[in-house]
Structures are given as structure tokens and as C-alpha cells.
């Protein structure tokens, strides 16, 4: 089973809110998830991102890898640098 950090969309039409989750790469976008590790709110100004670094590190060690969008969020928060050292 290939684990991925990905975004799961919530919120109403035109007002998206995303949870950063760990899921099987074959699961649908808003399907079953293994764990929630944070959230991303693009509507607020500035964008609000909250990530549980310990949970991300735990799943990274288990083999989970981020999608490109989540990778950019990790990079902006400084988590990617911690994980790749």
C-alpha cells in the first residue's frame, strides 16, 4: 500500500477548505483516510496552514510521500527541509 499526503476538500461551493490527510494512493480524493495531519484554508488572508509536524514525521518514516501541492505547503512551512535531512 503506497501512502500519500494529500488534500481532501471540504466546504461549500466557492468556499473550499482542505484537510491534509494520509491516504492510500489508490483511494479517491475524499475517500477513506488513514489520518488527518493538518489543514489548509486558502480563503483567509493570509492563507492559514496548520500541520502536526510529529504526525507528518511519523508517516514519512512509514513511507508516505506528499503530492505536489502538499509538498509545496510543506516547503512553505519548513517541514520538507526537516524531513529530508
Q: Kindly report, residue by residue over 42-79, the tens digit of the pLDDT.
A: 999 999 999 999 999 999 999 999 999 999 999 999 99
Other Cβ atoms less than 10 A from the Cβ of 17: the count is 17
What domains, with CATH codes, occur in the chain? 3-83 (3.30.1320.10)
The total number of residues shown for the chain amounts to: 85
The tens digit of pLDDT for each residue in 19-35 reads: 999 999 998 888 899 99
pLDDT at residue 84, as a whole number: 83
- Average pLDDT (14-19) is 95
CA 43 to CA 48: how far, in whole Å? 8
Report, in this order, helix, strand and coil percent for the chain, each rounded to 5.
30, 35, 40
How confident is the model at residue 85, as a pLDDT? 78
Query: In this model, does residue 7 exceed pLDDT 80?
Result: yes
Amino acid at each position: 500500500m503506497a501512502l500519500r499526503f494529500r488534500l481532501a476538500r471540504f466546504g461549500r461551493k466557492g468556499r473550499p477548505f482542505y484537510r491534509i490527510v494520509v491516504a492510500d494512493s489508490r483511494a479517491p480524493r475524499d475517500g477513506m483516510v488513514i489520518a488527518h495531519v493538518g489543514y489548509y484554508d486558502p480563503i483567509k488572508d493570509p492563507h492559514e496552514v496548520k500541520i502536526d509536524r510529529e504526525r507528518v514525521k511519523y508517516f514519512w518514516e512509514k513511507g508516505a510521500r506528499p503530492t505536489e501541492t502538499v509538498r509545496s505547503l510543506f516547503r512553505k512551512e519548513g517541514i520538507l527541509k526537516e524531513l529530508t535531512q
